[in-house]
């Protein structure tokens, strides 16, 4: 079974490309969805997050206010590391469960959509890494059109991520999203064909 990693900086079109792999029959594990799951009251790390970040607790809703939590960790590197130390092992467990399931099923290729793939060293557990990229002006345009996004926030997110140029230099494959969806889909198909040929070599 081939384990692929998909990554890319903010607003590069990673989710769109992940959906393209899914359309081509590749099961996708979404790290962001796993993080979302960590914030549900029945997750094993929910109370740990609530205890570590009491200011993010919403008493009325009996829930963690993710916006407040985001503000706390956005401006404090230590707090961000503390949150990552809770979330990352949870996500790794989810990934391991996903891998085991598809190994049993005999799935030939699976894909892990991981925003901070290189930053967390996830490439060590994967066979190949695909980086999604687009010209800087398109990335900025897309990011700033998102609700609640500001120039300051965008700049802060970029600082917390490995630069696009470095990611592309480390990648096994690159998908470009600045030239339209049809072009990206063709690149996805080319990657899958190349992997199929490697598998049968």
CA 166 to chain centre: 17
Task: Provide the pLDDT for residue 201.
Answer: 59
Give the pLDDT band of residue 179 (cuts 50, 70, 90).
very high
The C-alpha angle 130, 108, 93, rounded to 5 degrees, equals 70
Give CA–CA dist 123/117, Å, rounded.
6
pLDDT at 75 over 80: no
CATH of range 1-27+109-201; options 3.90.700.10, 3.20.20.140, 3.40.50.300, 3.40.50.1110: 3.40.50.300
- How far is residue 191's CA from residue 131's CA, in Å, rounded to a whole number? 12
Give the position of tokens 């592309």.
Answer: 168
* Residue 135 confidence (pLDDT): 96
Helix (H) or strand (E) holding 174: strand 173-176
Mean pLDDT score, 68-92: 89
Residue with tokens 């063709």: 186
Query: Cα separation of 34 and 40, whole Å?
Result: 10
User: For 157-175, what is each residue's pLDDT tens digit?
Assistant: 888 889 999 999 999 999 9
Two tokens, residue 146: 């998102």
How far apart are alpha carbons 56 and 58 in whole angstroms? 6
Does the pLDDT value for residue 99 go beyond 80? yes
> Which DSSP string corresponds to 93-162?
HHHHHHHHHHHHHT-SEEEEE-TTTTTTTGGGG-SEEEEEE--HHHHHHHHHTSTT--HHHHHHHHHHS-
Q: Which phi and psi (to 5°) does residue 43 adopt?
A: -80, 150
Between these two residues, 109 and 62, which has the higher pLDDT value? 109
Q: Return the domain boundaries, the chain.
A: 1-27+109-201, 37-106
Instruction: Give me 43's structure tokens.
Output: 């997750």
Residues 115/14, Cβ–Cβ less than 8 Å = yes
The model's pLDDT over 7-65, given as tens digits with 9 standing for 90+, comes to: 999 999 999 999 999 999 999 999 989 999 999 999 999 999 999 999 898 888 888 98
**What is the pLDDT, as a whole number, of residue 61?**
84
pLDDT tens-digit profile of 132-162? 999 999 999 999 999 988 998 898 888 888 9
């Amino acid at each position: 079974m081939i384990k692929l990693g998909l990554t890319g900086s903010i607003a590069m079109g990673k989710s769109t490309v992940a959906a393209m792999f899914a359309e081509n029959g590749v099961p996708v594990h979404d790290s962001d969805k796993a993080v979302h799951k960590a914030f549900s009251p029945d997750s094993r790390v929910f109370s740990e997050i609530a205890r570590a970040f009491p200011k993010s607790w919403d008493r009325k809703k009996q829930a963690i206010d993710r916006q407040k939590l985001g503000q706390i960790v956005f401006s404090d590197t230590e707090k961000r590391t503390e949150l990552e130390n809770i979330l990352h092992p949870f996500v790794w467990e989810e990934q391991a469960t996903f891998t085991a399931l598809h190994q049993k099923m005999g799935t030939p290729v699976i894909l892990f959509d991981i925003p901070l793939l290189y930053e967390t060293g996830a490439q060590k557990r994967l066979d190949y890494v695909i980086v999604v990229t687009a010209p800087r002006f398109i990335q900025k345009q897309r990011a700033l059109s998102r609700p609640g996004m500001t120039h300051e926030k965008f700049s802060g997110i970029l600082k917390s991520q490995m630069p696009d140029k470095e990611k592309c230099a480390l990648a096994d494959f690159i998908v470009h999203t600045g030239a339209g969806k049809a072009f990206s889909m063709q690149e996805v198909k080319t990657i899958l064909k190349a992997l199929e040929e490697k598998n049968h070599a």
